Amino acid sequence: MGEDGPVTEPRTAPRLIATDLDGTLLCAGGTVSDRTAAALAAAEAAGIQVVFVTGRPPRWMQQVSPHIGGHGVAICSNGGAIVDVRRGELVEYFPMAAGTTLTVVEALRAKLPGTAFAFEHADGWAREPEYEVLMWGDDMVCAVGAAEELLGDGGPVRGLFKLLAKHPDLDPDTFLAEARTAAGHLAEITRSSPIPLLEISAPGVTKASTLARWCAEQGIDRSEVVAFGDMPNDLEMLAWAGTAYAVANAHPAVLAAVPLHTVSNEQDGVAAVLEELLPRSARQHPAAPGSAR
């Protein structure tokens, strides 16, 4: 890895940039640097779609709305939801069955005592009383109760597209490995947080699956996709994309799995790659009518 940029460029000029947010595109505090904002705008102006593919729930997306591009759409909750960020609306979501979710909850409680749960769903979010509120936006009004009450007949959780599981003190990677042993046959289980917090989706629902669906609708081949990520929840997307980069601060498993590396998020690693790609891409893919300017 060079000190100022990526190892190399993709062999195929990109038509879509798919980037994770926290730890990848965003700086500390969840901000978009001026350099990164300029690189994203230049990509859109060159006719290249920029799609944010994040573990964040829809309610955490307004912070990056000014940088979303002409289409206004982001893939949230590790592929569980497609969101029109500007309108604040769910475009589509991929739900977990309530019965399966309760089976996952029971399996994790039995194997990993002390685990508490929260639920991202079509109408907002809900949590168990033991699920400690730590993140911005989590103090908004939500339903609180045991999983059985929240998911049961007449409960407030409908259209669940992401289950969160938090443990008070386990090592995050150990928590992930143990949870996959207990319930990995029932759901997709991954992590993106530095704390012991798991993110669980319906079987087959990942960042990669929803990004592939989006690209197919746009007539974009995977070879024309350049993806960026930093954590285990990015691995499927990085493996699917024609070209993939891990930022220097990525989880060791991501750095090991992804051959191409760029500098860290704090050094504008995504922008460093885009600045190398755009001159060639702008010549090969002139701006499409209606592209963001």
User: What pLDDT score was predicted for residue 140?
Assistant: 61
Instruction: With a cut of 50, say whether residue 103 has pLDDT above it.
Output: yes
User: What pLDDT score was predicted for residue 291?
Assistant: 31
Sign of the alpha-carbon torsion through 117, 208, 219, 35: positive
Q: Is residue 94 within 8 Å of residue 202, measured between CB atoms?
A: yes
User: Where does the chain hold its CATH 3.40.50.1000 domain(s)?
Assistant: 16-93+206-284
Please state, in angstroms and as integers, the Cα–Cα distance from residue 226 to each residue in 54, 118, 271, following that order: 15, 32, 12
Fold of domain 98-201:
3.30.1240
For 260-277, letters b (16+ CB in 10 Å) and e give bbbbbbebbbbbbbbbbb
CA dihedral 224, 228, 234, 239 (to 10 degrees): 40
User: What pLDDT score was predicted for residue 292?
Assistant: 30
User: Where does the chain hold its CATH 3.30.1240.10 domain(s)?
Assistant: 98-201
State what percent of residues in the chain have pLDDT above 70: 85
User: What pLDDT score was predicted for residue 175?
Assistant: 98
Instruction: With a cut of 60, say whether residue 111 has pLDDT above it.
Output: yes
User: What pLDDT score was predicted for residue 280?
Assistant: 56
Condensed to tens digits (0 to 9), the pLDDT of residues 39-78 reads 999 999 999 999 999 999 888 777 777 766 667 789 999 9
Instruction: With a cut of 70, say whether residue 201 has pLDDT above it.
Output: yes
29 token code pair: 């505090």
Condensed to tens digits (0 to 9), the pLDDT of residues 161-181 reads 999 999 999 999 999 999 999
Condensed to tens digits (0 to 9), the pLDDT of residues 130-155 reads 998 765 555 565 889 999 999 998 89
Which H or E run contains 229?
strand 225-229
Question: What is the average per-residue pLDDT within 68-97?
Answer: 88
Q: Of the CATH numbers 3.40.309.10, 3.40.50.1000, 3.30.70.3270, 2.30.42.10, which one belongs to the domain with range 16-93+206-284?
A: 3.40.50.1000
Strand 73-76 versus strand 81-84 pairing type = antiparallel
Quote the pTM value: 0.88
- Which spans in the chain are helix H? 34-45, 98-111, 147-151, 172-183, 207-218, 235-240, 252-257, 269-284
Instruction: Read off the pLDDT band of 94 (50, 70, 90).
Output: very high
Higher pLDDT, 293 or 96: 96
- CA separation for the pair 60, 226 (Å, rounded): 24
